[in-house]
A and B are shown apart, each in its own frame.
Chain A
């Protein structure tokens, strides 16, 4: 959702909003569904077929599970406990195969469309070791909009139906839940029980939703166009031509990229959430001041929250509770509890971080990116008892303010190293850039010609604004609530002020090409 698609979403949403409000309550959810499909068709054209196939497979999968549940409820009556248990196992097996097939089909779609060429390069590389040349065909096809988001959302829905969290919805409910347009570009990942009831409520105009939504949209555009797109000028240049720059500039490029990604991704989520709020529909929270994290584990609970929660619920717990791990746990009873925990965790976390890395992209560097956090997590787990002893012996209060600030800084440094792997053009480039950090040279970035003096100052002023807002939120002060309780005249003044700031200070205009969003069109 660059500048253009951001405006496109806003214009599109404005038209939908006007029609939505004019319709009777019962017709409103269908209006959202029709325009969601239209939004998708305009953007992805014939690739919409993949979204429809996902909706259909997941819908029929859910219906099949409903039927098995009903049959079980009918047949179990009057049975003894043992027979009931056997019957349950029989139906569980049937349900498992339904879920398995639906997931397989959907993973096949994303596997072919997103990972086909990557797997090909692995395949070719593997055979080249044995001096065998294999020519893997290269697939040249654009990705359907948001396939990485809606596929996981759909899988989560079906798994929850299978677990008995709720009964499968009807076709329209499932279609709108998966295809709801504000969340298609960059998420967040939705949960059926949280989103679907809101979608079908058909809420009318509400001043709080209107102003609240407007504030989120404008703040999102401010973060994207004033902060992220300006930082991108420096970050893109440094990452593209790192060999020309010295240590300080490379370091600055990495740090500014981290902040760019935060401003951009959270900004786009704010726009999507704001658009949705206009319709009275609240999307899941995806960011919670991530740079106030004391360790990388906490960082991932505050950054891209809906992805972390998805991985926890649908990868971490199922792997940890699988029969294999349970058996392994029993075999390890002779080991001390810490070793048991470490071995079990290392298996479950490997699955989590491998999925996380692969989800971010089809490439070796994304797997390394996932593995980087995996190693950090394990090292953190290993060192926890050691640090606890050191703190105790040295009488250090780890909850004292200086120690908290130090832990924030430590996390920030580690996250920036992760971002270096994530953003660098290749793994080799990442290693070279890391080495480049330790070279000397000039510090004056203006003389490098990357950016002029005014823009450079603006970078830091806007970063200060971004962090000031985060500090206020971290102190549990609800800015939106404060805004909503002001008089209409003041609310409108604030709205116009942010709009003027975006128009005056936004990074756009002749000769400026806005960067493609990093998390966009995944």
Chain B
């Protein structure tokens, strides 16, 4: 989780990602931020997030993003 929070803060500083539960609909992460985030996650966690996984429910909080990462790691 810490690694993920560091990545998120690198993309969008000054946000407490451990508490935020509405990253997409709250307008915190734009589609452009998502693109940068996906690039970072792919290289840091050795996964491949395809456009199929770009759904609001996968990116609404740090917790859901972590779940997505774990799911993709298991799938491999």
Contacts and interface: CB of A to CB of B under 8 A. Distances in A.
Interface of A: 81, 84-85, 88, 160, 163-165, 312-314, 316-318, 320-321, 325-326, 329-330, 337, 340-341, 344-345, 348
Contacts of A317: 35, 51, 54
Contact of B39 (A88, A314, A329): A329
Contacts of A326: 39, 42-43
B51 A318 contact: yes
A344 B36 contact: yes
Contact of A345 (B32, B42, B43, B51): B32
Nearest to B12: A337
B76 A85 contact: yes
Contacts of B1: none
Interface residues of B, number: 16
Given A85-B76, A321-B39, A344-B36, A164 B31 contact: no
Contacts of B43: 326, 330
Contact of A316 (B31, B50, B76): B31
Contact of B36 (A85, A163, A312, A340): A340
Nearest to A329: B39
Given A81-B76, A326-B42, A341 B36 contact: yes
Nearest to B52: A163
Interface in B35-58: 35-36, 38-39, 42-43, 49-52, 54
Contact of B32 (A314, A318, A341): A341
A320 B52 contact: no
Nearest to A160: B52
Nearest to A342: B32
A81 B47 CA distance: 12
Contacts, number: 46
A330 to B, nearest CB: 8
B46 to A, nearest CB: 9
Contact of B35 (A81, A314, A321, A337): A321
Interface of B: 11, 31-33, 35-36, 38-39, 42-43, 49-52, 54, 76
A163 B50 contact: yes
B52 A165 contact: yes
Contacts of A164: 50, 52
A88 B52 contact: no
Given A88-B76, A337-B11, A329 B36 contact: yes
Nearest to A318: B51
20 contacts: A84-B76, A316-B31, A317-B51, A317-B54, A321-B35, A321-B38, A321-B50, A325-B39, A326-B39, A326-B42, A329-B36, A329-B39, A330-B39, A330-B43, A337-B36, A341-B33, A341-B36, A344-B32, A344-B36, A348-B35
A165 B39 CA distance: 21
Nearest to B53: A163
A276 to B, nearest CB: 26
Given A321-B38, A321-B51, A348-B35, 20 more contacts: A81-B76, A84-B76, A85-B76, A163-B50, A164-B50, A313-B51, A314-B51, A317-B51, A318-B51, A321-B35, A321-B49, A321-B50, A325-B35, A326-B39, A326-B42, A329-B39, A330-B43, A341-B32, A341-B33, A344-B35
B27 to A, nearest CB: 12
Contacts of A341: 32-33, 36
A139 to B, nearest CB: 35
A329 B36 CA distance: 8
A287 to B, nearest CB: 21
A313 B53 CA distance: 11
A27 to B, nearest CB: 34
Contacts of B52: 160, 163-165
A341 B35 CA distance: 9
Contacts of B38: 321
A325 B32 CA distance: 12
A341 B32 CA distance: 7
B33 to A, nearest CB: 8
